[in-house]
Amino acid sequence: MLLRSRIISTGSYLPEKVLSNSEMEKMLDTSDEWITERTGIKERRIADNTQAASDLAFEASKIALERAGLGPEDIDLIIVATITGDMPFPSTACFLQDKLGATNAAGFDINAACSGFLYSLYIADSFIKSGMHRRILVAGTEALSKITDWDDRTTCVLFGDGAGAVIVEPSNDDSGILSIHINSDGKMWDLIHVPGGGSRNPASQSSIEQRLHYIKMKGNETFKVAVRTLEDIALKTLQENNIDPSGLSLLIPHQANLRIIQATADRLKVPMDKVIINLDKYGNTSAASIPIALDEALQSGRIKEGDYILLEAFGGGLTWASALIKW
Ligand code: COA
C-alpha cells in the first residue's frame, strides 16, 4: 500500500482583543450592515503590540503538541505559512523553533498568501511520503492587522489575526491525505499584494508616505477569479480520487468571504450544513484560516473517522489549492 501522511493533531490560537463591526463604524465610513451583507464578517481578532506571527503560532503549536502527547524535541521539521512573518528574515519557523525548544527540527517559511497552509501541507505530505521526515509541524499564522491600512475601508474590514497548527506523521492505514493540488498564476499578482518593503520598493520615507507597506486589493476582480478557480481545483481533487461531491462529509474552505464560500459550495452542490464557517468571528486570517477552521471542526465533533473532507483555498500570487483527506 502507498505510504500516506495524516494529520494526528491540531491546535489554534486567536488573540484576545475582539474588534466588532460596530466598533469599526466608529473608526471609518462603514456599517455593520454593509460588512455583514458583502462579506459575512461580524468581528475579527487583533494581536496586541507584543504579538508577532511566531507568538501566535507558538500558542497554536503548543496545543497541537500537547494533544498529540508529544514534546517539541519529537518534531523533525517545522513549516510555517505566513505573509506577516516576524521579520523579512530570519524565518518565522526559526523563531517558532526557538520558542518551542524544538531542537531536533529544521524550519522554513512558505509564502503563498491565503493558500500558504495548503502549500505547506503539500510539502509536508511529500516529505513524509518520501521518508525524508517522520513528524512535521505545519503552522499557518498571520498578524494581518499589522499590514492593514486602517484608513482603507475597502480592505481593513476584511482581515484578522490568528494561528492554527497541525502535526503530520506517516499513516498506518488507508486514512490520511489522499491528494493535494496546488496552482499559481503570477500574471494576476496585482489583485492582492503589498507593494512596499521588499526589493522592488524598499522601505523609505516616500514608500511609507505612499502607504506602500499595506495590503492593496482589487476586491471585485479577486472575487470573480476566486469562485472560478476554487470550483476548478475542488473538482480536480475530487475527480483524481474518484469521489463525487455528494460523498464529502465536510468542506473546509478558506474563510475570505461568505459569498465566495456559498458560490463555491453551490457550484459543487455541497449543502451549506456541510461547510465550516467561522469568518463571522475571525474575518480573513489568510494562511491561518484553514488550520483554525479544521481545529474548530475537530474540537466541536464535526469530524468522524472515515469522513472525506475537502480543504480549499485561494489567495495572493495568485495561488489556489485544495486537499482531500480521509479522516
Ligand atoms: N463600507 C461601506 N462601503 C464600502 C466599503 C465598506 N467597508 N468598502 C467599499 N465600499 C463601497 C465602495 O466604495 C463602493 O461604493 P461606490 O459604489 O459608491 O463606488 C461600494 O461599496 C461597492 O464596492 P465594491 O468593491 O464593488 O463592493 P463588492 O460588492 O465587490 O464588495 C468586497 C467588496 C471586498 C467585499 C468583495 O469584492 C470581496 O470580498 N472580494 C474578494 C476579496 C477577497 O476575498 N480577498 C481575499 C482573497 S484571499
Instruction: Examine the fold and report which residue of 138, 172, 206 is the final residue of a domain before the chain moves on.
Output: 172
* Whether this model's pTM surpasses 0.75: yes
Residues of the chain with pLDDT below 70 are 1-2
DSSP structure string for 47-86: --TT--HHHHHHHHHHHHHHHHT--GGG--EEEEE-SS-S
Q: Is the CB of 155 under 6 A from ligand 1?
A: no
Closest CA to 79 of 114, 108, 122: 108
Phi, psi of 188 (to 5 degrees): -100, 30
Give the model confidence (pLDDT) of 192-231 as tens digits.
Answer: 999 999 999 999 999 999 999 999 999 999 999 999 999 9
Coil, strand or helix at 317: coil
Tally of domains in the chain: 2
Residue 146 and residue 44 share a domain? yes
Residue 223 and residue 196 share a domain? yes
- What are the residue numbers of the active site? 114, 254, 284
Give the model confidence (pLDDT) of 87-115 as tens digits.
Answer: 999 999 999 999 999 999 999 999 999 99
Q: Is the CB of 30 under 6 A from ligand 1?
A: yes
Residue 91 and residue 208 share a domain? no
Instruction: Please give the residue range of the domain that contains residue 130.
Output: 5-172
**pLDDT at position 2, please?**
66
Calpha distance 235→241 (Å, rounded)? 10
Name the grid cell of 279.
469568518
* CATH number of the domain that residue 295 is part of: 3.40.47.10
Report the nearest atom of ligand 1 relative to the CA of 313: 48
Residue 159 and residue 269 share a domain? no
Report the nearest atom of ligand 1 relative to the CA of 38: 35
Residue 154 and residue 190 share a domain? no
Residue 235 and residue 164 share a domain? no
Q: How far, in Å, are 46, 62, 94, 178, 275 from residue 57 at the CA level?
A: 14, 8, 12, 26, 25
